[in-house]
A and B are shown apart, each in its own frame.
Chain A
Amino acid sequence: MKTETDTALRHVSALRRIAASILMLAGLIVGGTAQAVISGTTGVNFDLTAKEGYVSMGDGATVYIWGYALDGGNVQLPGPTLIVTEGETITVTLHNDLAEAVSITFPGQTDVTTTGADSEGYLAGEAAATGGEVTYTFTATRPGTYQYHSGSNVGLQIEMGLSGALIIKPNAMNQAYNHPSTAFHQEYLFFLQELDPHIHTAVEAGLTPNLAERRAQYWLINGRSGPDTFFDDNIPWLPTQPYGAMARTHPNETVLMRVVGAGLDVHSFHTHGANFRVLARDGRMRETIPGVSGADAGLSDFTLTVAPGQTYDATWSWRGEDLGWDIFGHAPGDPCEPSGEECDPASPIYDHGKAIPVWLPEQQFLTFGGFWSGSPFLGQEGALPVGEGGLNLDGGYFYMWHSHIEAELVNFDIAPGGMMTMMIVEAPGVPIP
């Protein structure tokens, strides 16, 4: 049982944390370096160690985890994103610093050979407790988005954090699969999981938790809960959670979203701004004619329900189409800036010179979001009251991508937080690193 004082303290720490976050965000998001590529580790030989450590939640709480570390470094949540290329032979060596046997299974990889296992394990050959080692080898046969996770004491070890993403790229550049229907401009990973801190506390104390009583209280994208998802990759104060989840694109470009259901619960992931279209599930294109048609049989939807263990690849594109007003705020005679597209009737963002048909209320009747530029127009800034906005210096259009089970938009008892991040549509010409 928590006392009221505990709750009050949590509130204070969360508020401090959010205040600090906003200050830091100004530097890190706005001038930031949110990558258009997926952070991870490339190569063919990977050296992972299962070990214990701590992660930080969006409300400031610290949670004990087990996770995979790369090259003997920090434990991390999720495990290192392994990025490989189709056709390569991949070797993963697992060392075990934990006090129970661990392993790795690679769902979707068909020819995994295990060498040096200390025990047979449940879903994969194991590295023995405290110092064991095992090596897995497979050929990265089929491009796609996959996950890897422990095959030992799975209910508990997945909850504790022993999982990660495996991305197999085709030989073609900027395509998810070997078909032009899967081409993209930017790609982002959305590794969805949740955790119940009571289980982690029990494990740290050496107790045996009751998994049947599991009830998640933190909901994560790429190992972080909101608002930490907004921060860059590799920020120094989250050393065990190196992956951010902010995403960026431009109008009419195509984003590849690689979504992994990595926890023990189902999640409904809603994309504000536009529908996505599914390209593939579990690394297999949705095709009407296998091997020929490309990804032509995927659904368009605004919410993706992802079950544990599933992966989805989908494309998403914001076109600013047919809104009935000029998103650049031009008057009829204005030049066609910034891209020229808005004066071309063939372009989706064609609405040149049309004003927004309604007045926006005076400031005294409005509350302003931190990511509101002060202007309804793309790439522009508007007047804001002192202390409002400030996190959107390029005038981008921000869209929240989040769990539409809104009970998951909290960090323990503190809202908002949880499984949320932002997709930013930047004005044409704004560089995306």
Chain B
Amino acid sequence: MRRILLAPLMVLFLALCAPGIVTQAQAQPARGAISAEELELQRMLQGGRIEGRTTLPDAQSEVLIQPAGKAWRDFHNVTLAWVGGIAVGGMLIILVAFYLGRGKIMVEGGLSGRTIQRFNLLERANHWMVASCFIVLGLTGLNLTFGRHLLLPIVGAETFTAISLWGKVLHNYLAFPFTLGIVLMLLLWVKDNIPNGRDIEWFKQGGGLIGKGHPKAGRFNAGQKMVFWITTLGGAAVAISGYMLIFPFWGEFGVAEMQLAHIVHSVISVLMIAAMLAHIYIGSIGMQGAFDAMGTGEVDLNWAKEHHALWVEEQQKRETAARPAAQPAE
């Protein structure tokens, strides 16, 4: 009896449910209403990723889809190529134009023949350690972004891989002396690089690059202070972001952190390269007498007076103070 009653009830129940199941399947997928297409589209538009759980002992494998990869691809292939190209290429063009327009900046009073020590051996050695590391780091870094467009077609795939592989090794190892040098640089020179009121005046007068006359400056003028802070602060940012990338299997850095580290590392690097090109220019062919500061460490007195008048005064005062015995006491 019960069974007879139950049967029509079952039929009725199924009849009521069936259309529901069908329409539900058409409107949206049943069983938890989850749709790959929708989820992918949503994460792509809103950011975030599709993650789950795996049986592998590797947290990275738990990310099913990371749409941020597309953003990083666009950054690497488009943004970085443009920012780097404009910064580095643009700076080269500016420097050539400047050289042709203004020419080499000469010591106005001519060379005096007398010199004064500007940088001691430790300062120079450290400068050149950082500089040589920077050049190799910069070139091998640029190679990763521009090499395949500029160098690969010329040297061929195998040679290019050899260059890039060695470049990568150099890049990884030179990171350490570079960082050490940056720290030393900070310790050696920070006291002379604190910005002060004279720096504003220096900028107002165009730093003596544009127009005539030299704004007074201490040991470092505002332009050199800029180079100093770009090197130390930029160097610190590049070092930290670089170390995040250099130990790929260490620490809790997932793909998102590495993408971010790469973006910071590369953007700051290309800007630093552009700034250093200007620094190299003015320290070599751009200005008479400037190279000696880092070459022999001895600069011409007239050069020093023109560019660092306050520093020369200070040095001379100190020298006289240091030789009181030579003067007879009153």
Q: Are the chains A and B members of one assembly?
A: no
Q: Which B positions have Cβ atoms within 8 angstroms of A?
A: none
